[in-house]
Structure 1
Amino acid sequence: MDLRAHYTQFWQNAEAQFLKGNYEFDALLDSPTDTRRGITLLARPRGEVLENIQCFLQEMVTLEPEQYYYPTSDVHLTILSIISCYPGFSEADIQLQPYIELVKEALASIQPFRVMFKGITASPSCVLLQGFPYSDDLHQLRGNLRTAFRDCRLQQSIDQRYAISTAHSTVIRFREPLQRPDKFLQKLREYRAHDFGTAVIDQVELVSNDWYQRQENTRLLATFPLT
Structure 2
Amino acid sequence: MDLKQHYNNLYQESITKYKNDNYDLDKLIDSPADNRFGITLLIRPPQKIKNEIDNFLSNLKKIEPNQYYHPKSDIHITVMSIISCYQGFELSQIETNNYVEMIHQCLSGIPSFSIQFKGLTASPSCVMVQGFLIDNTLKQIRDNLRTNFKSSDLQHSIDKRYAIQTAHSTIFRLRNNLIAKDKFIDLIEQYKNYEFGTFTVDSLDLVFNDWYQRVDKVQKLYEFKLKTQPNNVYTK
Query: Which band: TM-score by shorter chain?
Result: over 0.9
Residue 47 of structure 1 and its aligned partner are, at CA, apart by: 2.7
Residue 109 of structure 1 and its aligned partner are, at CA, apart by: 2.1
Is the counterpart of residue 213 in structure 1 residue 213 in structure 2? yes
Q: What residue in structure 2 maps to residue 171 of structure 1?
A: 171
TM normalised by structure 1 equals: 0.99
Residue 133 of structure 1 and its aligned partner are, at CA, apart by: 1.1
Q: CA RMSD in A?
A: 0.6
Q: In 2, Cα distance between the equivalents of 1:56 and 1:50?
A: 10
Per-residue deviation, residues 113-142 of structure 1 (Å, max 9, x unmatched): 110000000011000000001111100000
Q: Which runs of 5+ in 1 are unaligned?
A: none
Q: What residue in structure 1 maps to residue 93 of structure 2?
A: 93
Give the 4+ runs in structure 1 shifted more than 3 A.
none
Is the counterpart of residue 77 in structure 1 residue 77 in structure 2? yes
Q: In 2, Cα distance between the equivalents of 1:179 and 1:47?
A: 31
Is the counterpart of residue 157 in structure 1 residue 187 in structure 2? no
Residue 19 of structure 1 and its aligned partner are, at CA, apart by: 1.0
**Secondary structure, in 3 states, of the residue corresponding to 2:110?**
coil
Per-residue deviation, residues 44-96 of structure 1 (Å, max 9, x unmatched): 00132111101111010100011000000000000000000000000110011
Q: In 2, Cα distance between the equivalents of 1:34 and 1:100?
A: 27
Q: What residue in structure 2 maps to residue 55 of structure 1?
A: 55
Q: What residue in structure 2 maps to residue 223 of structure 1?
A: 223
Aligned 1:139-154 pairs, distance under 5 A: 139-154=139-154
Q: Which runs of 5+ in 2 are unaligned?
A: 228-236
Q: What residue in structure 2 maps to residue 185 of structure 1?
A: 185
TM normalised by structure 2 equals: 0.95
Q: In 2, Cα distance between the equivalents of 1:209 and 1:104?
A: 20
| Fraction of identical pairs, as percent | 47
